[in-house]
A = this chain, B = another copy of it.
Amino acid sequence: MAKFNPELMRGSLDLMVLSILAAGPKYGYLLQQELHEASRGAVDIQAGTLYPLLHRLESDKLIRCQWDDSTGRRRKWYEINDAGRKRLAVQAREWQEYADCIRTLLATVADAVPRPA
């Protein structure tokens, strides 16, 4: 699977991260890998994107975090909360509506564009 245009992912990265976190607590690096696998290699969120994003979600009180210093590897575990789940539901619904909108738009011109090779 080819990498997606980054501009396309703007506006749905939050949604993706919240989705992954909805499956259970994760630390950043793990989340990064799971998102990569879940998208079959298409989504490769960079560290410089992920960590600020997580900090933003935290300051918005959608997730809470906790350091685990018990091992040599310091890990910061993130867990989605009720507000986060609610936000996820809202954003998921909004995204589906948007996707329907685009799909409709594309369907009306489907015969006006050349077939992809």
* A32 CB, nearest partner CB in chain B, Å: 14
Write out, one digit per residue, whether chain A residues 97-117 have a CB within 8 A of any chain B CB (1) or not (0). 111011111101100111110
Interface size class on chain A is: 35 or more
* A13 CB, nearest partner CB in chain B, Å: 9
A116 near B90: Cβ-Cβ < 8 Å = yes
Residues of chain B within 8 A (CB-CB) of A113 are: 22, 85, 88-89, 92
A4-B98, A10-B10, A11-B11 known, 19 other contacts, Cβ within 8 Å:
A1-B97, A4-B101, A5-B94, A15-B102, A16-B105, A19-B105, A19-B108, A22-B112, A23-B109, A38-B105, A42-B97, A42-B101, A43-B101, A85-B113, A88-B109, A88-B113, A96-B106, A99-B99, A99-B103
**A residues at B contact (CB < 8 Å):** 1, 4-12, 15-16, 19-20, 22-23, 38-40, 42-43, 85-86, 88-90, 92-99, 101-106, 108-109, 112-116
